[in-house]
Amino acid sequence: MYNSATFQGLGAMSERDNIYQLVQGQVPAFAFDEAVARVFPDMIRRSVPGYTTIIPMIEVITRRYVQSGTQLYDLGCSLGASLLAMRHGVNVAGCTLIGVDNADAMLKRCQAYVDIDDAQTPVELQLADVRDIDVQNASVVTLNFTLQFVPKDDRLSLLRKIAAGTVAGGVLILSEKLSFDESEQQLQDTLHHDFKRANGYSDLEISGKRSAIENVLVPESLEQHVSRLKAAGYSQVIKWYQCFNFVSIIALK
Ligand code: GEK
């Protein structure tokens, strides 16, 4: 399984994330720049509860839903962890994988990981905004922690475009940070911060990242996601995984 080779490799080739170790005063807004790209595999594993389970399950879900002669899209592919999981799930002929990201620093490193990966399905990487691309003849589409960075007002039209470009029986895998009503929000935030602390982040780093990401990553509730996916044209929407305030959903065309 993909988990054994390339995914471990992504982690091993990453530097440790110490971006918010020495923050003082006003923290600049978070951006997917060179400094983040360099530490990204370490950052996302230590910051997102459930990420290390979701990635290998994307391979499993892909194997179930991929159809021969179709395209598979990873939208917001970063360094390619979800893209390569999908690639290792393809067990039919005539498919192409398309990875899209609008951060040049991320996509350059993604290409390097694709180059050392040993699966055979062709991969095309596109430096583009996910709102601007065409989606056609898709069997599996992944938005693995990307929709939360797209402006709220553009989320429904993006999902409509993806659903319209997906073949019957195709799937969207959507993973997101969630928001909750007030009392649950507090509890989930506490557990998330405990998770980060257990992974070696200090309180200063946790609060620095929290300020930097505010208004950049805009979470919504599970109910908002489910009703919007249905409005976008998906017939069945299932939460298959949740760890604290991070969720992964499959939406079936
Ligand atoms: C993984 N899927 O490792 N258009 C294109 N790309 C975008 C846009 C946009 N409008 N907005 C954000 N991005 C990956 C992890 S990270 C999640 C995905 C995180 C890109 C952005 O540049 C970044 O690479 C990615 O979406 C989000 O499974 O950092 O929490």
Domain covering 51-178+217-252: architecture: 3-Layer(aba) Sandwich (3.40)
Q: Give the distance (Å) from ligand 1 centre to CA of residue 237.
A: 22
Find the angle CA(36)-CA(42)-CA(48) to the nearest 5 degrees.
95
The CATH 3.40.50.150 domain(s) of the chain lie at 51-178+217-252
Using most ligand atoms within 8 A of CB, pick from 52, 101, 161 the residue to mutate for ligand 1: 101
- Name the token pair of 220: 């919504």
- Name the token pair of 92: 């039919």
Farthest-apart Cα atoms in the chain, separation: 54
Contact 51 CB / ligand 1 (< 6 Å): no
Is the pTM of the predicted complex or chain greater than 0.85? yes
Long-range own/partner contacts, residues 190-194 (CB < 8 A, 24 or more apart): 191/49, 191/244, 191/245, 192/49, 192/244, 192/245, 192/246
CA–CA gap between residue 26 and residue 28 (Å, rounded): 6
Question: Can you name the residues that pair with 6 across neighbouring β-strands?
Answer: none
- Would you say residue 204 has pLDDT above 90? no
- pLDDT tens by residue, 83-112: 999 999 999 999 999 999 999 999 999 999
- pLDDT tens by residue, 31-71: 788 888 888 898 899 999 999 999 999 999 999 999 999 99
pLDDT computed for residue 11 by the predictor? 58
